[in-house]
Amino acid sequence: MTNIITKFTRSKIRGSFSACLLFLLIGCDQVQTQSNTDGQTQVAQTALERSAQGERRKLTHLLLGTGSVRGVYFPIGGVICRLVNRNKAQHRIRCSLESTSGSIYNLRQLRDDNFDLVFAQSDWQFHAYHGSKEFENAGPDKALRAVFALESDPLSLLVLKQSEINQFDDLEGKTVSFGYTRSLQHRIMSDFLEAKKWSNNNFKEVRPMSDKRQIAQLCDGKLDSILLLTSSLEDNSKLVPQGCKLKFLPIQDASIKQLIADKPYYRTGVIKQGRYFDSENDIMSFGLGATFVAHESTSPKAIYNVVKDVVENFRDFTLLHPSLETLEKEDLPYAGISIPLHPGAERYYKEARLLK
């Protein structure tokens, strides 16, 4: 939904009536003719100037649907708007944002033209486009278009630091927890196990429980390994008792490649060295991610400039929020994106040689 605000003022034309009266007997027609000619020229010039000013004043307004003010999407939306708005004098695009309840709400509101761009978790982007899961009743939204990928949210597989478990396959025959049965990390792990040709039978026991209980039981030695979302670690790391030392296990099984091929809303991700639990190395994993999407009808010029502002200020962009620190410029048109790119985004990526 694009609002174009154009202001026009009426030019006032003052005639030469007084001059005609003064020179009525000595050639008013000549004076009148000259005055009309000058007036017409002035009117034409004024109209052109006003038209040019009106064109300069046209402003495209983009409204972003984000997420909770306490979440990740809202502050990242603020970062994007800041980058766009500081160049609005050049491209005449203004950006503002609203907090929302998240991906599903955003995608429904985008479909109803209540937002121009929205954040969406990569799997919900897929389901909205195909009309599956929560979008089954509404049907496919084939006008949905991707703009760029954002941060990844890889799975965090944790064991005690002194544990002799060093890779995923070492968990066979162990007691583990992948969170509540309906939790997001449990659902992602179920897809991974299916791709790996494993099941719960490969473990001694799989105990469903909350993140808080997972941490407590791991530190008490009642579990061999637990599973959390990296996006939850900022809060969950505060629940680790003093003296309980943890380490990450990588999840980089060969079956992940097939899983991503089958379900392209998944993507690989990295947990940066030293970010949590004094980890000594970067840890490779996989999971879902955030995406930025629009409708095909959203102005190609506006989308082009949004992408341009992000890419050409990419270092500043990734430094403005911690969750963006692992994002690579090459990820933008690909990572977790399972729907067609918006024409404006595609045009910029081709110019920037970011599309293969």
Mean pLDDT of all residues in the chain? 87
Residue 5 exposure: Cα atoms within 13 Å on the Cβ side: 7
Three-state SS at 246 = strand
The larger pLDDT score, comparing residue 76 to residue 26, is at 76
Among residues 109, 84, 86, the alpha carbon closest in space to that of 95 is found at: 84
Average pLDDT, integer, range 53-63: 72
Regarding the domain with residue range 60-152+289-351, which homologous superfamily does it belong to in the CATH classification? Periplasmic binding protein-like II (3.40.190.10)
Q: What is the CATH number of domain 153-287?
A: 3.40.190.10
The larger pLDDT score, comparing residue 81 to residue 4, is at 81
For residue 170, give every residue at least 6 positions away whose Cβ sits within 8 Å of its Cβ, in sequence order, or none.
164
C-beta separation of 41 from 72 below 8 A: no
Strand segments (E) across 250-282? 267-271
Q: pLDDT of 293-330, one tens digit each? A: 999 999 999 999 999 999 999 999 999 888 898 999 99
Task: Write out the two tokens for 15.
Answer: 């005639």
CATH 3.40.190.10 domain locations along the chain = 60-152+289-351, 153-287
pLDDT for 58 equals 78
Average pLDDT, integer, range 54-76: 86
The larger pLDDT score, comparing residue 99 to residue 356, is at 99
C-beta separation of 152 from 256 below 8 A: no
Q: How far apart are CA 151 and CA 73, in angstroms?
A: 10
Per-residue confidence at 36, pLDDT binned at 50, 70, 90?
Answer: very low
Q: pLDDT of 128-169, one tens digit each? A: 999 999 999 999 999 999 999 999 999 999 999 999 999 999
Per-residue confidence at 9, pLDDT binned at 50, 70, 90?
Answer: very low
Per-residue confidence at 42, pLDDT binned at 50, 70, 90?
Answer: low
Q: pLDDT of 247-294, one tens digit each? A: 999 999 899 999 999 999 999 999 999 989 989 999 999 999 999 999
Q: What is the 3-state secondary structure (H, E, C) of 159-227?
A: EECCCCCCCHHHHCCCEEECCCCCCHHHHHHHHHHHHHCCCHHHCCEECCCCHHHHHHHHHCCCCCEEE
Per-residue confidence at 34, pLDDT binned at 50, 70, 90?
Answer: very low
C-beta separation of 95 from 85 below 8 A: yes
Q: Rounded to a whole number, what is the distance in angstroms from the first to the last CA of the chain?
A: 31
